[in-house]
Amino acid sequence: MPNVDNELEQMNRKRREEILEKHPYEIYQGAGKDTRWRTHVLDPIKKECRRMIVRKDRHLDQQYIAMHSLLYEPLKYREHS
């Protein structure tokens, strides 16, 4: 009998990987004293339509990007002059 939890985890991992492949910004680790992970995510409220996120753990960044992409993917971003 297949393990449902294992299959669900695999599906979630695959979806997260697909989102990260489409993520347009670099995910990088700071240098020197500040070694936190950084990237930008799309944000229709901001003037530049993007927001920087900073986390201590890269894995948390991946989860945040996946969640954020699911929320904002269907939205159309306003144009700036």
In a domain, 46, yes or no: yes
Element (H, E) at 3: none
Q: Band of the pLDDT at 81, cuts 50, 70, 90?
A: very low
* Residue 37, token pair as written in the block: 């992970």
In a domain, 4, yes or no: no
Which pLDDT tens digit goes with each residue over 1-42? 567 788 888 888 888 788 778 788 888 998 889 999 888 888
In a domain, 9, yes or no: no
pLDDT average, residue stretch 39-56? 85
Task: Give residue 38's Cα distance to chain centre.
Answer: 10
The strand ranges marked E within the chain are 28-29, 37-42, 50-55
In a domain, 1, yes or no: no
In a domain, 43, yes or no: yes
In a domain, 7, yes or no: no
In a domain, 58, yes or no: yes
